A and B are shown apart, each in its own frame.
Chain A
Amino acid sequence: MAVDNELKIELGKQGVFVTTIEELYNWGRRSSVWPMQFGLACCAIEMIATTMARYDLARFGAEVFRPSPRQADLMIISGTVTKKMAPQVVRLYNQMGEPKYVIAMGACAISGGPFKQGYNVLKGIDRYIPVDVHIPGCPPRPEALIQAFMTLQKKIDGQSLTGADRPRHLDAEAQGEFPVPEPGEHDLEPTSNPGVWTVPVVIR
């Protein structure tokens, strides 16, 4: 940080506003996150409610749900991801332009939820794509989605433009293509993307 935070507050009291390119850039990015218009199951109903007047996601600059992945920054995985749907979800994620973020909404999206034992349910979308915010709940209330959204905004705000924690779109080394799983004989193949998820070792 070029300017000391206390000095900045002191200057602010005197009517002088100091900022950095990074702050301005991140302010713009976090205030105009466009989610993708994409609902998977019952959580989608809560997502719709979040965008409506009572909860009003528009306060955060995110009311513009885009019907095309090319125009969207944020993918809200709202509901159960079945193994039939997972390749489509990963393909859509691939087609989103950088920088892209993911909120896994609800128990199903983060782990398979109540359907975890089901033969056809993916046990968490984070097996294939990097998830930024997980929200539990079945389904999470609109307040929870707004909380997740604010958490994401904080994350975007905290990303510096250089260094190891810089956002993916500024990093030439970052993974560009996320392999789309194919339906195999018993499960999706591959069963997870090793670049974003490590298979947990069960200690018995």
Chain B
Amino acid sequence: MASNPYFSLAVLFVVALGFGLAPLGLARLWAIVFSPAKPNTVKNAIYECGLVSKGDAWVQFRSAYYLYAIIFLIFDVEAVFLLPFAVAFTGLGMAACAAMLVFVLLLVEGLAWAWAKGILTWA
């Protein structure tokens, strides 16, 4: 086994793992042996601003927010590409303008699709 070329790597791996885990284990041991845990409802409250905690930390957000974020991306990406396009507009050829038109139409199609699906009306 010791003749295996990967043997030293394995030893190093075990030592490195021990180096990381030993302090954690010692700290845990110290806490268990010497430091008694004293949890209570006030201490374990989820909110840390001093006010009384209400509800749960695992809140669910409406999926409508997610759809809005996606639709926002349409305008976001469009702005990022349109600005340099507008700056370099006078020096661009026919092909570049056509490519940009296709790109914008693709995004407009996405928006039209969302509109048709009724996502833009807040339900």
Contact = CB atoms under 8 A, between A and B. Distances in A.
B48 interface: yes
What size tier do the contact residues of chain B reach?
10 to 19
Contacts of B48: 68-70, 92, 95
Interface in A142-186: 161, 169-172, 174, 176-177, 180
Contact of B50 (A92, A172, A174): A92
A94 interface: yes
A46 to B, nearest CB: 22
Interface stretch (B15-23, B39-47, B56-64, B89-97): B39-47
A125 interface: no
What size tier do the contact residues of chain A reach?
20 to 34
A127 to B, nearest CB: 17
A89 interface: yes
B45 A172 contact: no
A141 interface: no
11 contacts: A87-B50, A91-B42, A92-B48, A94-B42, A98-B38, A170-B34, A170-B35, A172-B36, A176-B39, A176-B40, A180-B42
Which 5 pairs of residues, A with B, have the shortest CB-CB distance? A176-B38, A88-B50, A172-B36, A177-B40, A94-B42
Interface of A: 68-70, 87-89, 91-92, 94-95, 98, 161, 169-172, 174, 176-177, 180
